Amino acid sequence: MPKSIILKKNGGPEVLELQNVEVGSPGPDEIKVNNHAIGLNYIDTYHRSGLYPIKLPSGIGLEAAGKVDEIGSNVKEFNKGDNIAYASVPLGAYAQQRIIPAKIAVKVPDGISHELAATLMTKGLTTNYLLTKTYKLRAGETVLFHAAAGGVGQIFAQWANSIGAKVIGTVGSDEKIKAAEENGYSHVINYTKSNFAKEVLKITKNSGVPAVFDGVGKNTFLGSLECLSTRGMMISFGNASGPLDPVNVPKDIQPKGLYLTRPSIGQYFTNRKELQAGADQIFEKIKFGKIKIKISKRYKLADAKNAHSDLESRKLIGPAILIP
């Protein structure tokens, strides 16, 4: 019988339970998938802890790649044996086999492995909307990205470089500096040792940056605003250090006429056509060598607790996956 990680209560990594599950057959608009690789994402820890409330008991995980095992009667775009990937609700990707709505899956082209695809959906689609939709990054611009050695951070700098932009990155430890530099950051700042806002202003000769991409949250928010130039955009898309405090608009936003946005994947990829187009852009950059992915660690599905502990303690340098 297939196994899946089940969440019965919120808490630390210890609440993740590996159980046998009955999968059954897909409904008319669904597909049954055998997962070959599962993406590990920081948002998974929010669902587990209760920061992002979910109805319990529940599966966990948004992202995986594998092969189609069975299709529903209305499904026309997929066939049994197709290589697919997905990164969307319903939760439950931490599983050997599961049923998902066909509309959340994309076809994975030849030359892209399941392991690679499982790291590319959430992180790649996030990068895609951040620099092509939320803020349309242009050649010659220099922007700031926090958590430069993380999964999204590694893809972001490479994509930005491929269009002729430069990225200043921050990291939380000296050992992550090299990883960030290898992925194309023009400058890397350890924000635990230096005042990153002052460093950014020094690098930009006090002009600041037109955009800051911040997945760290609470600890970097005010410094990020300080880095922005007049009419700059603050893109807050994560809470690795905790959720944001309430924003004082007259004090923090008004003086420089700043923009503040809190985007997510679901707002930019609203149907399967948009999803496939977004994924294809990522797959193309991988195929042409514009983006290179190095998987930092592979965990067994049964070791999901350890994976979450490593993720929350910021031990991982780059994307990691679970192997069912």
Could you tell me what percentage of the chain is helix, strand and coil, using 3-state DSSP and rounding each to the nearest 5?
35, 25, 40
Judgement on whether residues 201 and 224 belong to the same structural domain of the protein: yes
Judgement on whether residues 158 and 254 belong to the same structural domain of the protein: yes
Contact 134, 261 (CB under 8 A): yes
Judgement on whether residues 184 and 275 belong to the same structural domain of the protein: no
Question: End of a domain among 262, 291, 315?
Answer: 262
| Cβ partners under 8 Å of residue 316, min gap 6 | 40, 150, 296, 297, 310
The DSSP-derived string for 100-122 is EEGGGEEEPPTT--HHHHHHHHH
User: What CATH number does the domain containing 23 carry?
Assistant: 3.90.180.10
Q: Which two tokens stand for residue 138?
A: 């242009």
Judgement on whether residues 235 and 315 belong to the same structural domain of the protein: no
Judgement on whether residues 193 and 306 belong to the same structural domain of the protein: no
Measured CA to CA, the distance from residue 165 to residue 211 in angstroms comes to: 12
Judgement on whether residues 196 and 289 belong to the same structural domain of the protein: no
Helices (H), the chain: 42-49, 114-129, 151-162, 177-182, 196-203, 221-227, 265-268, 272-287, 304-312
Question: End of a domain among 231, 262, 293?
Answer: 262
**Helix, strand, or coil (residue 75):** coil
The parent domain of residue 62 ranges over 3-121+269-323
Whether residue 127 is contained in a domain is answered as no
Judgement on whether residues 200 and 314 belong to the same structural domain of the protein: no
Judgement on whether residues 282 and 250 belong to the same structural domain of the protein: no
Q: How many residues does the chain have?
A: 324
298, with CB counted inside 10 A (0-12, 13-18, 19+), is middle
- Beta strands 30-39 and 97-101 are antiparallel
Q: Which of 217, 165, 166 is nearest to 191 (CA)?
A: 217
Helices 272-287 + 114-129 axis angle, to 10: 110
Judgement on whether residues 197 and 107 belong to the same structural domain of the protein: no
Judgement on whether residues 97 and 159 belong to the same structural domain of the protein: no
User: What CATH number does the domain containing 189 carry?
Assistant: 3.40.50.720
Provide the whole-model pTM. 0.85
Question: pLDDT in tens for each of the 324 residues of the chain?
Answer: 999 999 999 999 999 999 999 999 999 999 999 999 999 998 899 999 999 999 999 999 999 999 999 999 999 999 999 999 999 899 999 999 999 999 999 999 999 999 999 998 888 999 999 999 999 999 999 999 999 988 899 999 999 999 999 999 999 889 899 989 999 999 999 999 999 999 999 999 999 999 999 988 888 999 999 999 999 999 999 877 777 889 999 999 999 999 999 998 889 998 899 999 999 999 999 999 999 998 989 999 999 999 999 999 878 877 899 999
Centre a 10 Å sphere on the Cβ of residue 128 and count the other Cβ atoms it contains: 23
Whether residue 197 is contained in a domain is answered as yes
Whether residue 159 is contained in a domain is answered as yes
Whether residue 106 is contained in a domain is answered as yes
Q: How many domains does the chain have?
A: 2
Judgement on whether residues 207 and 143 belong to the same structural domain of the protein: yes
Whether residue 126 is contained in a domain is answered as no
| Cβ partners under 8 Å of residue 35, min gap 6 | 64, 65, 66, 93, 95, 96, 97, 98, 324
Helices 114-129 + 151-162 axis angle, to 10: 70
Whether residue 131 is contained in a domain is answered as no
